[in-house]
Chains A and B, each alone.
Chain A
Amino acid sequence: MSESKNRVQDFAAAGREHLNAGERARAALFAAFAFSVVALALELSFLLRGHRVAPLILFVPLVVATLVAWGVYARFRYSHLRAVGRLDHFFNIKEGLITADEHIRAGRNEEIHALQIDHTARKLEGHDPASARRQTRRRLWGLAGVLIVLVGGLLFIDDSTEVKTVRAEAETTMALSTEVAEDLKEEYERMIEEADPEIKEMLEDPALKSAVEQFEGGGDRRAVMRALSEIDRELAKMSGQFDTRADESYLKELAEYLSEGRETAAIGEALSNSDYKQAASALESMRLNDPSSAAEREALEKLAARIGEAEKSMSNNESGSRRSANEMSREIKKMANEAGEQGKASNESKASVNDAMNKSGDGMRQVQAKSNAQSALDRLRESLAQGQNRMNGEGPGQGGEGQQPGGDGWGEGVDRSRRGPDAESPSDGELEHLSGLLGEGESEKVIEDAFSGAGVATAAGGDNGAVARERQMEAFVRRDDVPEEMKHGVKTYFERIHELEKRINEGASDGKE
């Protein structure tokens, strides 16, 4: 009995082990297919976009395959009872094994139970429990093997030419942008260090400082160009605050008149040399002493006369320097009239003259300081522009092989006066020679047809100048050869110009009043 019992138990245990081994093999087959399918899907998603497959990505299908294997085995693995049932059915024992196993587990030891176990043990003779093991088809294993080999083979496919190009470009951009960032920071720090104390405060703008410090190198060329444009915008904004062109224009013209007189020659010479600080000192040296001499007053009257002469021939200029010079001239004339009428000038008149002279001198110093600050900013902008050019693949300060705006090629510069028969016009406009407030040159003129239809008449007239500027700006930013990242800067530039023009116009109208 115990021998039969052992035989039945051993058969059941061995059978269960073989059955579970079969299920493990099945789970492995499922896992192999899951791995192959998921891995192939992932690999194709990389390869179809031109990228080589990173081997680490296979960790994902590996996890999926592990989960599938575990799930399949957990679902189909044989418990003792299930294994006994399966073995009984497989060997056609007709529930003999199930019954015998139940007798053994329940410890039944009656005659009929022993007989039944013996009978079952005899039935099991000649049966190999290993034959009950699930046989997975070799063809399926072969297919899984082929898929896995395919997965492995796809790992060796390299990046496409396009991807390599993009990657190389990103690396170049990263290196270049890092270099540009370092240069820019260096230039900014140098600008701050070298700045005079009076303009240092002006230059230490928090927004500019933050933009420069936050600019880092990157692989995305567009992002780098956007960051550079942002810094350029900040610089343009600051530069607009330090604009001294109107003052300098006036002072340059005034210098010609002042250089003609002996008494004012020093001032004129300093102004013609753009040495406004020296000019301010020379002007302040002409202040009236107490008591003032006749020579001093005469010199001042001649100064006023020169300013008056300059005023007669002066074109439209609404600078602060002109206003302060005229103020000073008026005060001198007032003092001279007072002296002519009363024999001598009052102390108040003298004081007013001296104040006006001081004010004018301060103005000149201010112009000097602003001019210096703007020069510093210009240097920084130049450095920035060089950085932008480098990012665009151009040489410093040169055009980019005819592809970028501002030049026709390396060392070619821009010459719109001549255009070859095969040269493409950047726009549909016609070239027109224009004279502007601050200069003159070639520009493009576009005549657009208005839409036909019913219009609405209004009493208020449109700002034709603003419309024209808007069109000019839009025509520029719509050009295909202007990089996107530069368009914002260009737009801002136009807006600044417009604001400056507006301020100048407002200043002129104030002067007239």
Chain B
Amino acid sequence: MEKNKTVEQAAELFAERFKSTKEEIGRFIVGQDEIVDRVLMAVIAGGHVLLEGVPGLGKTALVHTLAQVMDLDFKRVQFTPDLLPADILGTNILIDRDGSKVFDFQKGPIFTNILLADEINRATPKTQSALLETMQEKTVTIGGICHRLDRPYFVLATQNPIEMDGTYPLPEAQLDRFFFKLSVELPTHAEMGLILDRTTGIEAPVISKVIDGAQLLEMEQVARRVTVATEVRDYLVGLVLATHPDNATAPRDVARFVRYGASPRAAQTLISAARVRALTEGRYHVAKEDVNAVAVPALCHRVLLNFEGEAEGVSTADIIRGLTD
């Protein structure tokens, strides 16, 4: 029973930290509760987030704030077309050491805990691909030497859905590596007023660090212990498989408008996110509503529309919502 108490305490601590982190972010970020929740879920689950929205909605500010509340190393890279992989990953340079010339690896900005990849779709595919290994294996291999990144490590990328000239849409392989893709919406009237108050006055809100890397990793471990019933797991698998137009369970809209469905990695994402959400809701098991709540951000960038779907202006979010109970 004492042991149960420990797990219970860990779960309570999880909920408390989640809440305090969110509140601290909320001291600066106005509204966007859902976005903040989901970003935190992704971060706790060890995933990367792609934030999409028009300029000025606070995407970068959100990431900055998140870095501030977490006692973690933070780097920002502004992606531009002339950005090279070495600019991110680092490079070997020749240095004079004890009278002899040796190559020394100079770490790039990727060696951090929180990487803000701002406007990621402005970099060339070659540079974008430099992130692939780091996002999946959390390692960097240069000159035959594999460098491990510190944990926790997550990439928070932003992209602008308009001004597509001079951009390079992210390849499917890279999109799949993002845990969530979140669309940042325009704030409401009241929220916008608060934003003005907080950002244009003399006094700026002071953000405190409320969580460190170890606590974050501990939260990840606690979340992994949340149980999933077979029925819920089967429901989740069925949901992912139903996104494939060739699958027998695919509804009519999927069969008509979808080109490719979600991958098994999507199912992993769903279950991880659902576990975190269950804990935040004070449960020790995953419910179908947890799966449904995270289905859209976890699947919307993994379900690719066909030409007809694009032409009809079909929303992948709507298709995914149609698949949930």
Q: Which positions in A face B, CB cutoff 8 Å?
A: 1, 85, 94-96, 98-100, 102-103, 108, 111-116, 118-120
Contact = CB atoms under 8 A, between A and B. Distances in A.
Given A99-B229, A114-B4, A119 B288 contact: no
Nearest to B284: A116
Contacts of B321: none
Contacts of B1: 1
B289 A99 contact: no
B3 interface: yes
Given A111-B3, A111-B6, A115-B8, A94 B227 contact: no
Contacts of A115: 4, 7-8, 11, 284
A95 B287 contact: yes
B321 to A, nearest CB: 19
Contacts of B288: 94-95
Contacts of A120: 285
A99 B6 contact: no
B229 A102 contact: yes
Interface of B: 1, 3-4, 6-8, 11, 225-232, 283-289
Nearest to B225: A112
B284 A95 contact: no
Contact of B284 (A1, A102, A112): A112
A112 B8 CA distance: 8
A118 B228 CA distance: 16
Contact of A94 (B230, B231, B287): B287
Nearest to B231: A98
A36 B11 CA distance: 60
A99 B285 contact: yes
A189 B254 CA distance: 95
Please give me the 9 A-B residue pairs with the lowest Cβ-Cβ distance, nearest first.
Answer: A94-B287, A99-B285, A99-B229, A116-B284, A111-B7, A95-B287, A112-B225, A115-B284, A111-B4
Contacts of B4: 1, 111, 114-115, 118
Contacts of B7: 111-112, 115
B284 to A, nearest CB: 4
Contact of A119 (B3, B231, B284): B284
Nearest to B7: A111
Nearest to A112: B225
Contacts of A112: 7, 225-227, 284
28 contacts: A1-B1, A85-B231, A94-B283, A94-B287, A95-B231, A95-B232, A95-B285, A96-B283, A96-B285, A96-B287, A98-B231, A99-B227, A99-B285, A102-B231, A111-B4, A111-B6, A111-B7, A112-B7, A112-B225, A112-B226, A112-B227, A113-B227, A115-B4, A115-B11, A116-B227, A116-B285, A118-B4, A120-B285
A120 B230 CA distance: 17
